[in-house]
Amino acid sequence: MAGVAGPRGPGARGDSRRPTEIKVRLPEQVAPGVYANSMMVQHTGDEFVMDFAVVVGGAGSVVSRVITSPAHVKRIVAALQDNLKKYEATHGAITGSGVHPTLRVGFQPPEGEDE
């Protein structure tokens, strides 16, 4: 599995000859992962906010929120492009309609809270 290097990753100090090894712990409660079939993105000048959601019918629920820097989003996009290329080389082209439905998303207050 390819990772996305952060600020202290390969070449962080201009030394591209030797990648830095990073030990990452995977907490037991995070290890199973979550399923998402939708993602919404918003940004400010300083950060990107990615909300991953499960949408079924006309309703959905955010299952994970990731907030990161613009520079790291560029590394994420590059890692995803690289992995898609490798995936398609092994498993064949990913096909789809190429049409993305327009969704209007409105957040609701958590259960038990009045609007």
Question: Is the Cβ–Cβ distance between 78 and 84 less than 8 Å?
Answer: no
Q: Which residue ranges make up each domain of the chain?
A: 38-91
Instruction: Indicate the average pLDDT of the chain.
Output: 85
pTM of the model: 0.71
pLDDT of 115: 54
Tokens at 36, concatenated: 């998402």
SS3 content of the chain, % helix, strand, coil (to 5): 20, 20, 60
pLDDT digits (tens, 9 = 90+) for 53-100: 999 988 899 999 999 999 999 999 999 999 999 999 999 999 986 776
Degrees, nearest 5: CA angle 8-14-16: 85
Task: Name residue 4's amino acid.
Answer: V
